[in-house]
Amino acid sequence: MNKTSLLKGHLEMCVLSILKKHKSYGYEIMKELEKYDLKLKGVSSIYPILTKLKDQRWVDVSSEITDSGKARIYYTINHQGEKHLENIMKEWKELQTNIKALLIYNEEEL
């Protein structure tokens, strides 16, 4: 499994984490991920995730007019979203600990 495929499974958590800090929009979120070397294969990953977050009611969506007069769609994490983020982060940390323990154990065996 390559890095992009691994990232796909954690994208929802990463996007919610970005949104926890501040409201954002699709393009900005994508670039924010790239700052952490979490490069997506393309835009086909980011927009479906945002749609899913909206459909699951983990984010609130609003349209705002930018300085250039363009309407931009902003996503803001809501209370439900924050709760969900807490849960998935907890699960992810547990899983990470378990995998790490397994890898270390097997490494010692070698």
Partner 1 sequence: MGMELTEKEKMYLDDISRELITRKAKKEQVLFIKQQLLEHIEESRLHGIDPFDDLETPAEFVTEYCELNEVQFVSPQKASFPKSYYFIGLFSFTVTYLLSQLILTMCLTQTFSPAYQHTNFNYNLLYSISDNLWWNSMLISISLISAAAITSLTVLSIYRKGKFIS
What the block records as the tokens of 100 is 């790490």
What the block records as the tokens of 22 is 């501040």
Does residue 54 bind partner 1 (CB under 8 A)? Answer: no
**How crowded is the C-beta side of 68, counted as CA atoms within 13 Å?**
3
Does residue 41 bind partner 1 (CB under 8 A)? Answer: yes
Which residue in the set 16, 19, 30, 77 belongs to the binding site for partner 1 (CB under 8 A)? 30
Dist CA 87 CA 45 (whole Å)? 22
Does residue 69 bind partner 1 (CB under 8 A)? Answer: no
Residues that bind partner 1 (CB under 8 A): 8, 11, 25-27, 30-31, 40-45, 47-49, 51-52, 66, 68, 70-73
